[in-house]
């Protein structure tokens, strides 16, 4: 893993140095090009704000009202039939909605059950093999003003469910 570690350590500095260097070799006015791109970046950031406010508000209401806990109770028969321990259920619900939230849940599980326990390992693998689907959809489609997202949400959520199942089987396979 040390090779991968150093790749991820050096990836950003290398890109920051090599891309402008290559630009200069190809006679691009690098500073002016950078500023032009940065301006576009800020415009995109501003465009996302309304979408993000709408989505985070709805999610916060859903969580604070206790609806999230009800949902956990409702789906727990299904998930326990599939073999998921009930401890990781909150992680499964929060994961597609909020990256920071899911990290908080995982941190809590690691602290309570220790990282090297079955729950700790399973939570780590689940966190790593799924994504914050709703956040990604909100931000990416929001940035270009697309409002009708067709089947993207369905596939994203299905991928997360497959990811959870795969995490469960991978954890059993590697650690039992």
Partner 1 sequence: MNIIWLGLILIGVAVAAFTGRASAVTDAAFAGGKLAIETIIGLAGLMALWMGIMKIAEKSGLMEGIAYLLKPVVRVLFPSVPGEHPAIGAMLMNISANMLGLGSAATPFGLKAMQELQELNPDKETASEAMCTFLTLNTASITLVPGTIIALRATYGSANPAEIVAATLLASLVAGIVAVVMDYFVRTYNRLRGR
Q: Where in 145-174 is the site for partner 1 (CB under 8 A)?
A: 145-153, 155-156, 158-160, 162-163, 166-167, 169-171, 173-174
Stretch that binds partner 1, among 72-80, 81-89, 130-138 (CB under 8 A): 130-138
Q: Which of 13, 45, 87, 105 binds partner 1 (CB under 8 A)?
A: 45
Q: How many residues bind partner 1 (CB under 8 A)?
A: 101
Q: Which residues of 134-161 are buried (b: 16+ CB within 10 A; e: fewer)?
A: bbebbbebbeeeeeeeeeeeeebeeebe
| CA atoms within 13 A of residue 132's CA, in its CB half-sphere | 16
Stretch that binds partner 1, among 58-66, 78-86, 87-95 (CB under 8 A): 58-66
Whichever of 89 and 135 has its CB closer to partner 1, that residue is 135
Report whether 98 contacts 59 (CB < 8 A): yes
Q: Does 144 bind partner 1 (CB under 8 A)?
A: yes
Q: Does 90 bind partner 1 (CB under 8 A)?
A: no
Q: Does 14 bind partner 1 (CB under 8 A)?
A: no
Q: Which residues of 22-57 are buried (b: 16+ CB within 10 A; e: fewer)?
A: eeeeeeeeeeeeeeeeeeeeeeeeeebeebeeebee
Give the closest residue to 120 by CA, choosing from 104, 109, 129: 109
Q: Does 176 bind partner 1 (CB under 8 A)?
A: no
d(C-alpha 26, C-alpha 47), whole Å: 32
Please give the residues from 15 up to 34 whose contact with partner 1 meets the rule CB under 8 A: 15-16, 19-20, 22-23, 25-26, 28, 30, 33-34
Whichever of 89 and 106 has its CB closer to partner 1, that residue is 106
Q: What is the dihedral of CA 175, 128, 157, 50, to 10 degrees?
A: 160
Please give the residues from 67 up to 86 whose contact with partner 1 meets the rule CB under 8 A: 67, 70
Q: Does 39 bind partner 1 (CB under 8 A)?
A: yes
| Two tokens, residue 150 | 């067709």
């Amino acid at each position: 893993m040390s090779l991968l570690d150093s790749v991820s350590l050096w990836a950003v500095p290398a890109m920051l140095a090599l891309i402008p260097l290559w630009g200069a070799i190809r006679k691009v006015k690098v500073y002016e090009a950078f500023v032009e791109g940065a301006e576009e970046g800020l415009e995109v950031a501003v465009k996302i704000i309304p979408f993000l406010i709408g989505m985070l508000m709805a999610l916060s209401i859903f969580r604070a009202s206790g609806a999230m806990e009800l949902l956990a109770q409702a789906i727990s028969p299904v998930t326990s039939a599939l073999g998921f321990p009930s401890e990781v259920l909150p992680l499964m619900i929060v994961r597609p909605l909020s990256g920071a939230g899911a990290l908080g849940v995982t941190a809590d599980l690691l602290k309570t059950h220790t990282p090297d326990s079955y729950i700790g390992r399973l939570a780590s693998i689940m966190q790593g093999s799924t994504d914050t689907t709703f956040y990604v959809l909100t931000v990416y489609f929001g940035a270009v003003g697309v409002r009708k997202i067709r089947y993207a949400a369905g596939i994203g959520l299905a991928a997360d469910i497959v990811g959870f199942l795969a995490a469960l089987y991978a954890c059993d396979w590697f650690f039992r």
